[in-house]
Amino acid sequence: MQINSIIPAPFYNRDVVQVARELIGKRLVRRSDAGLISGIISETEAYNGSQDLACHARAGRTARTATMYGPAGHAYIYFTYGMHWLLNVVTGEEGYPAAVLIRAILPQEGLDLISKNRTGVGREHWTDGPAKLTRALLIGKELNGINLTNSDSNLWIEAGVPIPQDNIYVSSRIGLGKTPEPWLSMPWRFRISDLAFMDKP
C-alpha cells in the first residue's frame, strides 16, 4: 500500500463523533514481525470528554487515560476484564479527552496470520469484536500512544473503501453497564449494515 494513503492528523483533530462515523470504511494496517495484517473498519464507537459518563476520562486525567489527553491520531490502548486489549484512536484538541473505539474490522491482508492468531475460532468471528481484532492484529500495550499518522509506526490507518451514508447503521453504544442517561443512549455507535459490497472480487 502507498505511504501517501495514510490518514493525516487533521482528520482526527475534529469532533469525536464525526471522526467515528468517517472511520467506517477506512483500512487499519498492522506491520508485525511476521508480515502485514489489515482490515476494513466496520464498527466504531465515540467516547466524548470527561462529561461523558461512559468515557474513561470521567474520572479525570490518570496514568491510564493520559494518552486520551494527548495529540489526535495517536492510539489509546487499554486493558480490561483481566485479559483483553482494546484499541482506540485519540481525537480532538490536545488536552481534550476523546477517542474512537475500533469495535470490528473486515479482514483483508494477512489472512494466514490472522488465522494463526485466532486458532480455534471460526472465520466469521476472527475480528468481529474489539478484543478479537486486537488479538488478530497482535495489538497490545506496547503500541499504546503510538502515532497512527506516522509511516514509521507499526500501526496506521489508510484510506479504504467508500461507504455510503445509507449503509451506515447508527445506534447507542453497548456494554456500558450502569452508565446513566443521557450517555447510555447517545447515538454514538456506527457500523456497516450491508456487507454485500465486500463479496465482490
Partner DNA sequence: AGCACGATTAACT
Partner DNA sequence: GTTAATCGTGCTC
| Residues making contact with DNA (CB under 7 A) | 45, 47, 54-57, 59, 62-65, 68, 76, 78-84, 86, 88, 99, 101, 118, 120-121, 125, 129-132, 135, 173-178
Cβ 166 to DNA shortest distance, Å = 26
Nearer to DNA, 71 or 197 (CB): 71
Nearer to DNA, 116 or 125 (CB): 125
Longest dimension (CA), the chain: 47
Cβ(151)–Cβ(3) below 8 Å? yes
Cβ 187 to DNA shortest distance, Å = 16
**Region for residue 82 given its phi and psi (left: phi exceeds 0; alpha: psi -120 to 50; beta: otherwise):** left
- State how far the Cα of 166 lies from the Cα of 201, in Å rounded to an integer: 22
Cβ 109 to DNA shortest distance, Å = 21
Cβ 4 to DNA shortest distance, Å = 29
Nearer to DNA, 55 or 106 (CB): 55
Nearer to DNA, 63 or 196 (CB): 63
Question: How many helices (DSSP H) and strands (DSSP E) are in the chain?
Answer: 4, 8
Cβ 188 to DNA shortest distance, Å = 11
DSSP bridge partners of 158: 6, 27
Cβ(173)–Cβ(191) below 8 Å? no
Nearer to DNA, 159 or 184 (CB): 184
- State how far the Cα of 18 lies from the Cα of 168, in Å rounded to an integer: 13
- Is residue 182 reached through a cis peptide bond, with omega within 30 degrees of 0 on the bond before it? yes
